[in-house]
């Protein structure tokens, strides 16, 4: 769905819904907010003067329903709310300190709880079309002392007013998003979309992707260091009730992909780069 089909999506958002100032005080510099999607993904962001609030950004890309939404910066979850069929629908707010918060609205799923500490790039929810939305997209706000301000991504102010493409540099590691020439969705193959991810320190990130067309899951570990040099890396995927499949060895850019079908079942996924590793619980069921 094109962004211009979503023009009405944010109109009528109740800015006062869940409104809460984080406590006015001496403002500090913004926390170097990043595009709220996994490393290397490209999304179309739209701003418009009749949006509510006007400084919000609507993010959209093809077939984005269910795509992972990640924290734009580290902080503490201050709200996890559901406005039903109105306004933000399912939404999350993160407090970044110094009066700064971010909001993520119209989610299909919320994967964090109030009081939880989150790191930059951590999956917090999934794109949806809940509340006053006419199609799947992410409504995103950066707020200072309770009021939405013009969003910045990696230090650059978003385009106001209009649409432009934004490539995520969120938790890419190393010197930037172009260090690793590959991304998780590309490695897993056509039709796969990121649904979750976890950092491996600064050494890499492991991703879980899903292909709605064939029902397959895919795990892949993307390196952020020693790129182009073979070093110890792994990725694994385990369907509940079945044996784990692991791809491990010395790889230059990524480990995996490991693909498995898991109709009606939960999966466990994870990976490693050098000494850093991650193993999920059984989740993303069905």
Q: What is the pLDDT of residues 194-250, one digit of tens each?
A: 999 998 988 999 999 999 899 999 999 999 989 899 999 999 999 999 999 999 999
CA 267, CA 259: separation in Å to the nearest integer? Answer: 11
Task: Kindly indicate the confidence band of residue 133, based on its pLDDT and cuts at 50, 70 and 90.
Answer: very high
State the residue for tokens 């089909």.
5
**pLDDT for the residue numbered 174:** 52
CA 215, CA 223: separation in Å to the nearest integer? Answer: 26
Lowest model confidence (mean pLDDT) among 16-30, 69-83, 120-134: 16-30
For the chain, the three-class secondary structure string (H helix, E strand, C coil) is: CCHHHHCCCCCCCCCCCCCCCCCCCCCCCCCCCCCCCCCCCEEEEEECCCCCCCCCEEEECCCCCCCEEECCCCEEEEEEEECCCCCCCEEEEEEEECCEEEEEEEECEECCCCCCEECCCCEEEECECCCCCCCCEEEEEEEECCEEECCEECCEECCCCEEEEEECCCCCCCCCCCCCCCCHHHHHCCCEEEEEEEEECCCEEEEEEEECCCCEEEEEEEECCCCCCCEEEEEEEEECCCCCEEEEEEECCEEEEEEEECCCCCEEEEEEECCEEEECCCECCC
**pLDDT for the residue numbered 173:** 67
Q: What is the mean pLDDT of the chain?
A: 89
Q: What is the pLDDT of residues 141-178, one digit of tens each?
A: 999 999 999 999 999 999 999 999 999 988 876 544 34
Q: What is the pLDDT of residues 5-35, one digit of tens each?
A: 444 444 344 433 443 433 444 456 789 999 9
Task: Kindly indicate the confidence band of residue 69, based on its pLDDT and cuts at 50, 70 and 90.
Answer: very high
With 0-12 CB in 10 A as exposed, 13-18 as middle and 19+ as buried, what is 266?
Answer: middle
**pLDDT for the residue numbered 28:** 64
Question: Does residue 90 have a pLDDT over 90?
Answer: yes
């Amino acid at each position: 769905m094109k962004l211009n089909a979503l023009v009405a999506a944010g109109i009528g958002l109740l800015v006062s819904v869940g409104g809460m100032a984080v406590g006015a005080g001496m403002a500090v510099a913004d926390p170097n907010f990043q595009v709220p999607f996994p490393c290397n993904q490209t999304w179309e962001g739209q701003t418009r003067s009749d949006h509510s609030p006007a400084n919000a950004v609507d993010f959209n890309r093809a077939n984005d329903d269910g795509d992972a939404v990640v924290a734009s910066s580290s902080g503490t979850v201050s709200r996890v709310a559901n406005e039903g069929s109105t306004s933000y629908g399912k939404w999350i707010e993160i407090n970044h300190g110094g009066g700064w918060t971010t909001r993520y609205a119209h989610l299909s799923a919320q994967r964090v709880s109030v009081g939880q500490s989150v790191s930059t790039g951590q999956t917090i929810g999934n794109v949806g079309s809940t509340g006053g939305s006419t199609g799947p997209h992410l409504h995103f706000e950066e707020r200072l002392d309770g009021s939405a301000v013009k969003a910045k991504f990696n230090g650059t102010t978003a385009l106001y007013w209009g649409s432009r493409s934004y490539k995520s540099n969120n938790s890419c590691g190393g010197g930037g998003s172009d260090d690793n020439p590959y991304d998780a969705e590309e490695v897993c193959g056509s039709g796969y979309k990121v649904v979750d991810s976890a950092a491996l320190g600064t050494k890499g990130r492991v991703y879980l992707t899903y292909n709605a067309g064939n029902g397959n899951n895919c795990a892949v570990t993307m390196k952020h260091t020693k790129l182009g040099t073979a070093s110890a890396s792994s990725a694994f995927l385990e369907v509940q009730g079945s044996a784990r499949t692991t791809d491990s060895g010395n790889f230059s850019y990524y480990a995996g992909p490991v693909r498995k079908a898991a109709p009606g079942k939960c999966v466990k996924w994870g990976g490693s780069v050098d000494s850093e590793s991650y193993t999920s619980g059984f989740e993303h069921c069905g």
